[in-house]
Amino acid sequence: MELDLGATLLGPLWMLLAFVGLGWLCARHLSLDPRPIATLLIYIIAPLTFFRGLTLGGPTPGYLLLTLGLFLVASLIAIAVRQLVRPLVPAQEAAVLAFSAGTGNTGYFGLPIAMVLLPPEGVTLYLFCLLGITLYEFTVGYYLSARGQFSVRQSLTRILRLPLIYAFLAALLVSALGLPIPAAVMAGLEVFPPTYTLLGMMIIGMTLGGVTIRELDGRFIGACVAIRYGLWPLLAGIAVLGLRAGLGISTELALALLLVGVVPVAANVVVVAMELSIRPEKGAIAVLLTTLAAPLLIPLYLAGLVRLTGLQ
C-alpha cells in the first residue's frame, strides 16, 4: 500500500508545490499583490466552487451529518487552542494559531489528491468532509481570527458578509426543491474548482515572496506543525477505528477521513490573515514548510494509518 500511495500521489503533490513556486516568482519578479487574490478567493471563487460541488453531490442527511461532525470537531479544536495560547502569546498570533489549529489544506491541496486517490463516491464523501472544515473556516474560525483585533459585533458583521454561507444555503435549497440548473451554467462553473486550487496554492508563494528571515518564528511554526501532523492524524485514526467498530463505515469514507487528517497547514490561514491584516507571513511560513514535507509525509502517514485502522 505504501508504494502504491507514493507512486499515485507523487505527481499531484509536486504539481501543487510547483504552483507555490509560481506564486513566489510572480511576487518577486512581477510585484503582484496577493491581497486582491485573497479577496477574490473568499468572495467569488470559493463560494461558486462549493455551490457547484454541493449541487452535483446531492446533499443527503448522511452527507450533511458528516459535514456537521467535521465542523464541530474543527471548531472545538480551535476554541480549545485559543483558550490555551491566549495567555501566552499576543492576541493576533493567538488568533492565527487558533484558526490554523481547526483546519488543514483540505481544499486547495487535499481535493486534487482525493480526486486521484478515491473513487467518485469517495470524492463526494471527501467533499462533504471538506465542506465541514470550510464552514468552520468562514464562521467560527473567521470569528476567532477577527476577534484578534475586532469587537464581537464587528467580527459577527464580517462573518455575515461572507458569501460562502449563502452559497451553502442556496445549494441546500436547490437540492431540496429539486430545482434544475441549466447545463450551460454548470458547464461555466467547471472552471472554478481548478482555479480555486491554482490561486489558493499560488497565494502561499506570493506571500512568501515578501517574507524575510527575520520573520521566522520557531515557536509558532512548531505549534502549527505539532497540531497539524500530530493531533489531527491521531484524531483521524481514532475516529476511523471507532466508526468502523461502531457503524461499519465504508472504506471510501474511512480514507476520506484519514486524508482530512494528514493534509498540510491550511492555505486559508494565509488568505484569512491577509483579509484581516493579521500577520499573514507567520502563517505562510508554516504552510510552506508543511507543504514541502507533504510529498514525503502524506504517503507515509496514509500507509501507516491504513495499516493501523485495518483498511489494508
pTM, 2 dp: 0.82
pLDDT at 149 over 70: no
How high is the mean pLDDT of the chain? 82
The answer as to whether 47 is a domain residue is: yes
Model confidence band, residue 2 (pLDDT cutoffs 50, 70, 90)? very low
Contacts of residue 289, defined as CB under 8 A and 6 or more positions apart, other chains included, come to 221, 225
| Total tally of structural domains belonging to the chain | 1
The answer as to whether 112 is a domain residue is: yes
CATH number at residue 73: 1.20.1530
Q: Which amino acid is at 211?
A: V
Domain extent, residue 179, equals: 2-209+217-307
The answer as to whether 312 is a domain residue is: no
As a whole number, mean pLDDT of residues 231-246 equals: 90
Specify the pLDDT at position 6. Answer: 54
pLDDT at 215 over 70: no
As a whole number, mean pLDDT of residues 76-81 equals: 93
Specify the pLDDT at position 182. Answer: 87
Q: Are 27 and 94 within 8 A, CB to CB? A: no
pLDDT at 1 over 50: no
Specify the pLDDT at position 9. Answer: 66
Helix (H, G, I), strand (E, B) or coil at 162: coil
